[in-house]
Amino acid sequence: MGAIKPYLMAAWMVALFGMGFAFEACNKQVQEPQMVQKISDDTVKLTDDAVKNLKIEKVIKNDFPQKLTLMGKISVPEDRIVNVPSRVTGRTDAIYVASGEVVKEGEPLCSIFSADFSVAREEFLQSLRDVRIDPQDRDARHMLELSKKKLNTLGVSRLDYEKWVPGGNSKNENLLVRAPLSGALLGKNAVIGNLVNVGDSLFTIGDLRKVWFAGDIYPEDLSKVRSGQEVEIDPGNSAPMLHGKVSFISPAMDPNTRTIKIRALMENPGSQLRADMYVQGFIIISTRMAVIAPKDALVHLEDTIFVFKRLPGNLFKKVSVTTDGDTTKTVSVSSGLTEGDEVVTEGGLLLDAALHGAGT
C-alpha cells in the first residue's frame, strides 16, 4: 500500500472522529487530546468518544446458505390477471388512467356514453320513486331489485347507483367503469371517442401481490435444483429479501439460450417487483454451519482482505481474513475470525489510514 499524504489522512479522520482527534503524521502531532493512537503496526487505540463514531457488529455462527445465482424476469401469474370488458354498447368519453399505472379497487378507469345504460338508469330511478311513494308496494320493491340487478349486469358499481336520487340531473350521466381489483394496468385498449361493443376489452389489470420469477439455469446446474427449494430476490433500496419456492422446472431446454427455465411464485409486498422487470435471483441449494460476518466489515486493498477487530480496552486490530461464500449482506469466514468477535463495519478504511499515517 502506498503512503497516504498527511493532509488527506487528516481530512478522513476529521470526517470520522470530528475536530477533537489527534495522531502523528510526518512525526508531527496534529491536535490534542489524542483520540486515535497507534499502538503497533496493526493496532490502534481509540478514546470512548472516538469509538462512538464507529459502527461495530458481532460475528456469529449459524447456518450459511450455498446459493445458485441466476437472472430472471418478473411476470404476473395468469390467475392474477383480470380483463376489464365493456358490458354495454356505446362510446368512450373519458379515460382516467394510463398504461403502467397502479390502480386501486373501485377506482374509475373510464366513462362510456351508452343508451342501454341510460335506459337502465331511468328504470332504476323510476322504481326508486315508486318505492318512496309507497314503501309497502311489493311490485315496486320487486322492480327496484330487478333494476339493481340489471345495473350490476351492466357493470354499474353500487357505489354509484346508491348516490342517485330521483329528480337529479341524470339524463347525460355516463357509465363509470371501475377497477374490479387493485393492481398494475398491464394493458389499455380504451381510446377516447372509440365505439365499443359488449365484450370488447378495455383494460387488463394484474394483481402484483404475488408474482412469477422465471429464471434460467444451465444444464450442469440442473442436478442441484429441485421443486420446493427456496428462492430469494433482492429488490434493492435496502429492502428485505423477497422469498418464494421453486414450483416449476421446464422439461425442455431453450434452443436459443441453451438454458432451462425454472419458475417460483414470490411474495411481493408493496409491489416492489414490477411486471417485465429483470432481477437477480438466488436458489438456496444447501446450508452449512459457518462463521458469518457482515460484508460491510471487509476492507479490500490490492490483493488483501482484512477487518478491524475490537479488542478489550478500545483497541482495534487489523486482521487478515479469508472467505468462502457470500450473500447480499454477509460473508462466510474460513479464517481470521471466530464466533463472538466484534468487527468495524463503518470506519475500517479510516482506521487503516491512521495506522499508516505515522512515520510516512
Q: Higher model confidence: residue 253 or residue 29?
A: 253
Please tell me the predicted confidence (pLDDT) of residue 359: 38
CATH code for 79-206?
2.40.50.100
Name the phi and psi angles at 134, rounded to 5: -140, 90
Please tell me the predicted confidence (pLDDT) of residue 251: 93
Average per-residue pLDDT for the chain: 84
Fold of 6-63+289-357: 2.40.420
**CATH architecture type of domain 65-77+209-288:** Beta Barrel (2.40)
Contacts of 119 (CB under 8 A, 6+ apart): none
pLDDT at 291 over 60: yes
Give the C-alpha separation, 159 to 182, whole Å: 16
> What is the average per-residue pLDDT within 169-184?
80
Please tell me the predicted confidence (pLDDT) of residue 264: 95
Quick: pLDDT tens for 76-133. Answer: 999 999 999 999 999 999 999 998 888 999 999 999 999 999 899 889 988 888 988 8
Domain ranges of the chain: 6-63+289-357, 65-77+209-288, 79-206
Task: Give the three-state DSSP class for 190.
Answer: coil
Give the C-alpha separation, 239 to 230, whole Å: 18
Quick: pLDDT tens for 178-237. Answer: 999 999 999 999 999 999 999 999 999 999 999 999 999 999 999 999 999 999 988 877
